[in-house]
Amino acid sequence: MRTRWLVAMSMFFAVSTPAAPDQAQVERGHTVYDKWCFPCHGTGPGKPGTDSLRQRGQNPAVLEERTDLNASMIRFYVRHGVLFMPTFRKTEISDADLDAIAAYLTRNNKK
Amino acid sequence: MKVPPGVSPSDFAKAISEFEDAVGKEWVFTSDEDVALYRDPYSPFLGEPDELVASAAVAPDGVDQVQKVVRTANQYKIPIYPVSTGKNLGYGGAAPVYSGSVVLDLKRMNRILEVNEENAYALVEPGVSYFDLYRYIQEKGLKLWVDVPDPGWGSPVGNALDRGGGYLMAHLRNHFDSHCGMEVVLASGEIIRTGMGAMPGSRTWQNYKSGFGPWVDGIFSQSNFGVVTKMGFWLLPEPDAYLSGTVYVPRHADLVPLVKILNYLENTRATNGMPDLGSPLLQIPMISEIAAWMSGDGPPPPDAELSGLLGNSEAGYSPELEAYALRKGVSYWSCKLSFYGPAKANEANWEFAKGKFSAISGARFVDNESYKLPLTPEEHEKVHKPQFGIPSLAMFSIGARSRTNPQPTNGHMWFSPIIPRTGEAIFEANRVFNQAAKEFGLPALAFSLPSCYWERAFIFIFAFPVTRDIETNKKNREAFKKLVERAAEHGWGEYRTAPAYQEAIMSTYSYNHHALLRFHQTLKDAVDPNGILSAGRYGIWPKHLRSQQA
């Protein structure tokens, strides 16, 4: 179990930089993010995911404001969960929706 | 590909093929990677061979597809395990009770079939979440509230069937009680509708609950007698106003009359929201304060004197601790009341409540929020959202890393006994559970207060953390089962639990040589003779697996 986790983590940094996502994909990702991610990772009070990352020292703590996320990392956490964050099934967030979330959350990364 | 126990690989391959024909190849999941998404992320067996896991998953998009899947499962005797949104975290998630079952994932059935504003009801499919229903109502501009539990990603159907609760008026916050009418696919594949829905062309399916003849809805909750594919729910027309006030009482013994008066006020509907108990002295937040406290917005830590007194108190009491409270003017207990209704009626009811509580010497009162509804956007951000029918995930701050919790958990499981609604019972339960924690090697339990979700009983909700350490999880599982037994010795039974404990808890409901469980088994054998539906759920095993469980 632990070995599998570490192998998967190491893959975050082995991926090549994807091509810039198109605007429609980013907009779709924004919609999916609002539905599935914002209630825990959004702005405002009562967002445990944001609070947890902030407490860990992450700045900015709100996922939408970060520029250091990559698609592999996002896919990993959605499909494997972490700490009290559960996994999300494909009937909840499809692979296509997950790609769109990744496009949205990496839209401001330095190219 | 994992194969369910007792099923031949060739039969399973045929069943999978038929599932694919029924729902489309894309919606049958058999790869390890996809099936792993159906693990319970809060399982107390994480990483152990005994973890309850699925063999595959199939996700229909309509009742006709459910029928096809169930008929195929019945033909090949494939164990299947329906879940709605699969987010019943702390009580089981999407993982089956009988390891190796195929999860029947109903998340794609996410249609809001009707919302009626005039008569305040909704008819929904199992995959609809509280967030979905709330958004739908907001987008349509309907003046309706949904009674929501703390985690808003659950489904009204799933939460009601597991008998969850919320925050609004008593007839709504018991989510099973607030349903009105079901559609159920039986193990044979046949569809039944309950209540008025049994009449073709009925015009009151979501208005009158019991229909004609035996009212069978209850047997489809916390059970395995059918797959519920539609459910009606009563909603709350948006009230005119909200008001809350808190009564504070000074002495330890005041909890007894506090609860007695509270019960009178609630049972006469002088207060109609969920009451919320706390203790300023013992630093026990009210439920509506937990998320804020966990985020670091709670009171300052106790001073050195109070810390010492708390450490030396027994079950939340010592004469010295009470003397400190009286000397410093720190109240022992608090109770927040909520009022929904016309603003003037709320004020009058709060005044009436103050009059009743004034029988307790030293009682004092604080007027809290008073809102004309709907909430303004600014008010919306300030409130404990479920108290206003707004779904949220804020309560997950309990396990999250925060200023007050530097070590986040990997989840939790709930130990949730029901006790009488008296102050004496609160004291007794604390003594018993405190003693049990010492005996079972658990961390010392601080004094706890129960919640008031249910109008005629209290419920304690203790969180057992789930860790990545197998030995700690084993120890916690054993302690959990011992606590269940200890509670039962005192006449307290759990209201709901995760699969790991369902059989142990059902065995405590043992009146007359387990007559109730035997009745469940009789029903099971009659309506699901091949035992394909949710084997083992809430301790109900089909005949062919009973001897293995004994």
- Say if A111 falls within a structural domain: no
Contacts of A47 in chain B (CB under 8 A): 393-394
The string of pLDDT tens digits covering residues A34-89 is 999 999 999 988 899 999 999 889 999 999 999 999 999 999 999 999 999 999 99
Q: How many domains does chain B have?
A: 5
- Of B495, B501, B537, B538, the active-site residue reads B495
**Pairing state between β B102-105 and B80-83:** parallel
The whole-number pLDDT of residue A20 equals 64
Among candidate residues B163, B287, B282, B136, the one with its CA nearest the CA of residue B220: B163
- Is B317 catalytic? The answer is no
Residue B391 to residues A50, B143, B386, Cα–Cα distance (Å) = 17, 16, 6
Whether residue B397 and residue A86 make contact (CB cut-off 8 A), yes or no, is: no
Length of chain A (residues): 111
Half-sphere exposure of B75 (CA within 13 A, CB side): 15
Whether residue B105 and residue A84 make contact (CB cut-off 8 A), yes or no, is: no
Contacts of B41 in chain A (CB under 8 A): 81, 86-87
**A71 and A15 in contact (C-beta within 8 Å)?**
yes
CATH of the domain at B43: 3.30.43.10
- Say if A19 falls within a structural domain: no
When mean pLDDT is compared across B166-175, B181-190, B310-319, the lowest value belongs to B310-319
The string of pLDDT tens digits covering residues B202-214 is 999 999 999 999 9
- Of B38, B42, B81, B91, the active-site residue reads B91
Choose one of B214, B237, B260: the last residue of a domain: B237
How far out from the chain centre does Cα B376 lie? Answer: 29
Q: Which residue matches tokens 């050195």? A: B304
The nearest CA of chain B is from the CA of A51 a distance in Å of 6
CATH of the domain at B529: 1.10.45.10
- Which B-chain residues 3-42 have CB contacts (< 8 A) with chain A? 27, 29, 33-34, 36-39, 41-42
**Above 50 in pLDDT, residue A12?**
no
Tell me how many degrees the CA angle B32-B103-A98 measures, rounded to the nearest 5.
60
Query: Which residues have CB under 8 Å from B167's CB, separation 6+?
Result: B147, B148, B173, B273, B274, B338, B384, B386, B387
**Above 80 in pLDDT, residue B81?**
yes
| Whole-number percent of chain B with pLDDT over 90 | 85
Choose one of B216, B237, B258: the last residue of a domain: B237
The whole-number pLDDT of residue B149 equals 95
Dist. CA B271–CA B283, nearest whole Å: 25
Whether residue B397 and residue A89 make contact (CB cut-off 8 A), yes or no, is: no
Structure tokens at B20: 């694919």
Q: How many domains does chain A have?
A: 1
**In this structure, which amino acid lies at residue B118?**
E
Dist. CA B239–CA B314, nearest whole Å: 43
Complex confidence, ipTM: 0.92
Residue B476 to residues A63, B38, B44, B446, B448, Cα–Cα distance (Å) = 34, 23, 8, 17, 19
- Of B496, B501, B537, B538, the active-site residue reads B496
Dist. CA B485–CA B94, nearest whole Å: 27
- Say if B140 falls within a structural domain: yes
**B93 and B54 in contact (C-beta within 8 Å)?**
no
Dist. CA B242–CA B223, nearest whole Å: 37
Q: What is residue B337's DSSP assignment?
A: E
The string of pLDDT tens digits covering residues B82-92 is 999 999 898 98
State the pLDDT confidence band at A9, using cuts at 50, 70 and 90.
Answer: very low
Contacts of A79 in chain B (CB under 8 A): 33, 37
Residues B227, B229, B234, B237: is their CA dihedral positive or negative? Answer: positive
Whether residue B291 and residue A92 make contact (CB cut-off 8 A), yes or no, is: no
The radius of gyration computed from the CA coordinates of chain A, to the nearest angstrom, equals: 14
The whole-number pLDDT of residue B46 equals 86
State the pLDDT confidence band at B444, using cuts at 50, 70 and 90.
Answer: confident
- Is B91 catalytic? The answer is yes
What is the mean pLDDT of the segment spanning B304-313? 92
State the pLDDT confidence band at A7, using cuts at 50, 70 and 90.
Answer: very low
Find the domain containing B336 and state its range: 241-373
Residues B1, B5, B9, B15: is their CA dihedral positive or negative? Answer: negative
- Is B38 catalytic? The answer is no
**One domain for residues B464 and B520:** no
Peptide bond before residue A60 is cis, with ω within 30 degrees of 0: yes
**Above 90 in pLDDT, residue A15?**
no
- Say if B381 falls within a structural domain: no
Q: Which residues of A touch B (CB under 8 A)?
A: 1, 35, 39-40, 44-49, 51-52, 55-56, 79, 81, 83-84, 86-92
B149 touches chain A (CB under 8 A): no
The whole-number pLDDT of residue B550 equals 53
**Above 90 in pLDDT, residue B285?**
no
Find the domain containing A65 and state its range: 2-12+24-105
Q: Which residue matches tokens 């045929």? A: B14
- Which B-chain residues 431-470 have CB contacts (< 8 A) with chain A? none
Dist. CA B274–CA B238, nearest whole Å: 17
Whether residue B37 and residue A47 make contact (CB cut-off 8 A), yes or no, is: no
The nearest CA of chain B is from the CA of A78 a distance in Å of 10
Which of B385, B394, B401 is closest, CB to CB, to A52?
A: B401
Contacts of B412 in chain A (CB under 8 A): 84
Whether residue A46 and residue B107 make contact (CB cut-off 8 A), yes or no, is: no
Whether residue B89 and residue A86 make contact (CB cut-off 8 A), yes or no, is: yes
**One domain for residues B357 and B270:** yes
**One domain for residues B269 and B317:** yes
Whether residue B291 and residue A46 make contact (CB cut-off 8 A), yes or no, is: yes
Whether residue B396 and residue A84 make contact (CB cut-off 8 A), yes or no, is: yes
Contacts of A35 in chain B (CB under 8 A): 131
Dist. CA B241–CA B343, nearest whole Å: 5
Beta strands, E only, B342-385: 364-372
- Say if A6 falls within a structural domain: yes
Whether residue A44 and residue B381 make contact (CB cut-off 8 A), yes or no, is: yes
**Pairing state between β B102-105 and B493-494:** unpaired
Contacts of A48 in chain B (CB under 8 A): 291, 393-394, 396-397, 399-400
Structure tokens at B180: 């009105």
CATH of the domain at A32: 1.10.760
Dist. CA B370–CA B386, nearest whole Å: 16
**One domain for residues B524 and B544:** yes
The whole-number pLDDT of residue B179 equals 98
Give chain B's mean pLDDT: 95
- Say if A18 falls within a structural domain: no
Dist. CA B66–CA B81, nearest whole Å: 12
**Above 60 in pLDDT, residue A11?**
no
Contacts of B409 in chain A (CB under 8 A): 83-84
Which of B33, B391, B393 is closest, CB to CB, to A48?
A: B393
**One domain for residues B138 and B202:** yes
For every residue of B53-73, DSSP letters joined together read --SEEE--SSHHHHHHHHHHH
**B392 and B380 in contact (C-beta within 8 Å)?**
no
Half-sphere exposure of B164 (CA within 13 A, CB side): 25
State the pLDDT confidence band at B520, using cuts at 50, 70 and 90.
Answer: very high
**A36 and A88 in contact (C-beta within 8 Å)?**
yes
- Say if B398 falls within a structural domain: no
State the pLDDT confidence band at A4, using cuts at 50, 70 and 90.
Answer: very low
Dist. CA A40–CA A36, nearest whole Å: 8
**One domain for residues B229 and B249:** no
Query: Which residues have CB under 8 Å from A38's CB, separation 6+?
Result: none
Structure tokens at A69: 């996320």
Contacts of A92 in chain B (CB under 8 A): 85-86, 107
The whole-number pLDDT of residue A16 equals 42
The nearest CA of chain A is from the CA of B405 a distance in Å of 10
